[in-house]
Chains A and B, each alone.
Chain A
Amino acid sequence: MSKKDIDEVTGVETTGHEWDGIKELNNPLPRWWLWTMYLCIIWAIGYMIAYPSIPLINASTPGLLGQTSRGDVAIEIAAAKESQKVFRDQIAAKSLVDIRKDEKLFQFARSGGKAAFAVNCIQCHGSGAQGGAGYPNLNDDDWLWGGDLEAIYTTIQHGIRVEADDDTRTSDMPAFAGDEILEKEQIVQVAAFVGSLSKQEVDAEAAKKGAAVYEENCASCHGEKGKGNKEFGAPNLADAISLYGDKQADIIRQVSKPKHGEMPAWVSRLDDITIKQLAIYVHALGGGE
């Protein structure tokens, strides 16, 4: 048996361990401390019975209360949906213009539209709705098919050039080279004229000749001054924005064999409330008319 080591100051026995001259007194722990530990153990056993705890092969023991994290989320989502119901009912009932006028409803619709946009639209139009080559920028004030609330709503509903949808937006620009409507030279001339519409530096001689070609072949859809026509989705040629590029080569290519954008009809995929919210969101991006 080892000799008892009694601390001089306190008269308490030490544990016999020593670290750099520091010894630990072997004072008894308060008994309530022990009881607290037992209480915690009992609590832990109860907790393990009430909540999911012991891991099994596929899942863990479910626990008597049947609580799951997924279940909690589902309850929270249901509660959130319930709290949104007031707004959603109003959006379903009201016209787009009235929704726009109601500040609170507008904020709600725009936020909902933003979320729906992030899921359904950013693949083509980009996360900031800034578009890209061939995909229109929705932030600007240039609209192919119209930029007021109703026009945007219709475009989202029925899409562009969707064969299966009878109400879809559709138009077809002839391939002036492929279908041999214009001579190569004429196409170059009309491209020069189109460039001059948006005040670009072009061959003046060619543009002058191109004006006549334009008058005859293009003005019916794009307008005499190239301002476009939203009825046919004919782009404004006189502004600073061009979907497929504004260099002479871009214009020549587009006149010769035009590219035609397509957009899905969302009426069959999204509910009307979501489409309305999308229309409100896109309209509020800064270019809405």
Chain B
Amino acid sequence: MVTVHKEVERLDVEPVNSKEKRELFAAHVKIFPKGVTGTFRSLKWLIMGITLGIYYITPWLRWDRGPYVPDQAILLDLANRRFYFFSIEIWPQEFYYVAGLLILAGIGLFLVTSTVGRAWCGYSCPQTVWVDLFLVVERWLEGDRNARIKLDKAPWTSDKIRKRVIKHFIWILISISTGGAWIFYFADAPTLFKNFFTLQSPFVAYATVAVLTATTYIFAGFAREQICTFACPWPRIQGAMLDEHSLIVTYNAWRGEPRTLKKKEREKLGDKAGDCVDCNACVAVCPQGIDIRDGAQLECITCALCIDACNAVMDKIGKPRGLISYATMSDHAESKASTWTSFIRPRTYIYLAIFGAICLGMLVTLLMRDRLDMSVLHDRNPQFVKLSDGSIRNGYTVKILNMVTDPRSFRVSISGLKGATMKIAGSDVKASDTVKVDVDADKLKAFKVYVTVNHKALKGARSNIQFTIKDISGDETTTYNAIFDGPSK
């Protein structure tokens, strides 16, 4: 019991609803990452240039496929259900190639993450790349970290308004071109470009651009690290993917601790002092707003900018680089620097083998795949028709898939039933055991054929019949085994 006055004593009570206890929601604290130069920053510039280049330029690449099909190198033609990738063309029934690519991407992510950690997050994730791009604009107009903090706190002068208006204007321009580039993957880019600005494009094109513009502007301009920390599932998945042999951005505490500001004075006094001078350079450059010296954490996207920042400081104080470095947890535990072999282990080889096997499998099937296919669908109702001369007729819908970029003529013939003749429905050509069919370039042709057989040639209710198509000018053939129905004997 404490007496604060001779008449008053202090009561032992705590305010249940004090402000400190009511904090259910946290306000967003803005991060002002400091500019940095160094090896990893240069690497990130390079990757940013390449990925943005690929994204913006790809739809404009042309690839000559002849007069019958589009000449866009990469085109997802949803309306006609075709996917073009340079010399490869994929039909909807070959969707397993896309599934293969997705599996490849999955295994690739396992391989990359288990070895070099969240390299995807740090270098090539669109969120990272576009935030970087937006930061370039921000830094160019408003200056580096301190200037930006000052400007942010400053009252709204005309200079601040001018800077902010220009910044957001450029951000929106980048956002529109980002959203705009996306739609060019789905239609002929030059045509769509013209139609888009003359307001002749379908509504979905404008809606797509609007949504992607909004998300780019909000995610890269405002949400930034919030997306990585709160919206993205990958930081959670990394817990399952990373292990103690994966490279992560690591503060080598065994070298840095105990950190101290007055290192030389300490050393003179004979106290132990680590290499970390506690200059906070690593914190200032971090786009995620964390302190890497706290160890591996969910928020870290391993962009390695803190490595660049720390290396510059180490150079200045004449200590070896690598106080913060890419290192594995196991090396960290053994207090040693990681080498380029630290992360290679059986798991790496297994992922690599699976990745290679899928690549090889896809390549082989791609090279050996048929560019001619046929399906024969027997009429279900009626299954057969008795004609006036007693012969039995069956109807079939034949589909020929001409998957090359030139029109082709095919000879369709039937075999397996003695005396069977075939006729295309509605055609004036006399019935025989073969018909000629022209199929347009890169198209499917479906037609009805009637096959007629003398009922004496039928042994029972079900007989086998083979349909064969042959490319007249080439030697490609395909056979389909079908059933011929008749009355039960």
Contacts and interface: CB of A to CB of B under 8 A. Distances in A.
Contact of A31 (B14, B28, B223, B382): B28
Contact of A32 (B14, B226, B386, B425): B226
B9 interface: no
A33 B223 CA distance: 11
B450 interface: yes
A5 interface: no
Nearest to B22: A28
A98 interface: no
A275 to B, nearest CB: 20
Interface in A28-47: 28-34
B85 interface: no
A250 interface: no
A31 B27 contact: yes
A126 B380 CA distance: 13
Contact of B381 (A30, A100, A128, A241): A128
A130 B425 contact: no
Contacts of A33: 25, 230
A29 B450 contact: no
A245 interface: no
B25 A34 contact: yes
A239 B14 contact: no
A30 B25 contact: yes
A239 B26 contact: no
Interface in A116-156: 126-130, 137, 139-142
B388 A236 contact: yes
Interface in A243-289: 284, 286-287
Contact of B23 (A28, A140, A236, A241): A28
A286 B450 contact: yes
Contacts of A106: 426
A239 B390 CA distance: 7
Contacts of B381: 126-128, 130
B28 A32 contact: yes
A73 interface: no
A260 to B, nearest CB: 21
B24 A241 contact: no
B395 interface: yes
B26 A284 contact: no
A33 B226 CA distance: 10
Given A33-B230, A284-B426, A286-B450, A139 B28 contact: no
B172 interface: no
Nearest to A137: B385
Contacts of A128: 379-382
Contact of A29 (B26, B388, B389, B390): B26
A227 B146 CA distance: 106
A286 B226 CA distance: 67
Nearest to B24: A28
B387 interface: yes
Chain B interface mostly = loop
B393 interface: yes
A241 B388 contact: yes
A64 interface: no
A286 B425 contact: yes
A175 B226 CA distance: 93
A130 B26 contact: no
A240 B25 contact: no
Given A240-B390, A284-B425, A140 B25 contact: no
Contact of A142 (B14, B226, B388): B388
B14 A139 contact: no
Contacts of A30: 25-26, 28, 226, 230
Given A32-B226, A139-B382, A240 B387 contact: yes
Contacts of A142: 387-388
Contacts of B388: 140-142, 236, 239-241
A86 interface: no
Interface in B19-34: 23-28
A286 B26 contact: no
B386 A241 contact: yes
A57 interface: no
A186 to B, nearest CB: 27
A240 B389 contact: yes
A95 B28 CA distance: 75
A106 to B, nearest CB: 8
The 5 tightest CB contacts between A and B, nearest first, are A128-B381, A240-B390, A239-B388, A130-B382, A28-B26
Interface of B: 14, 16, 23-28, 223, 226, 230, 379-382, 385-390, 393, 395, 425-426, 450
Given A28-B26, A128-B381, 18 more contacts: A1-B14, A28-B24, A30-B26, A31-B25, A32-B28, A34-B25, A128-B380, A128-B382, A137-B382, A137-B386, A139-B393, A139-B395, A140-B388, A236-B388, A239-B389, A284-B426, A286-B393, A286-B395
23 contacts: A27-B26, A28-B24, A29-B24, A29-B26, A30-B25, A30-B26, A30-B226, A31-B25, A31-B28, A32-B223, A100-B426, A126-B381, A128-B380, A128-B382, A130-B382, A130-B385, A137-B386, A139-B395, A140-B388, A141-B387, A236-B388, A240-B386, A286-B425
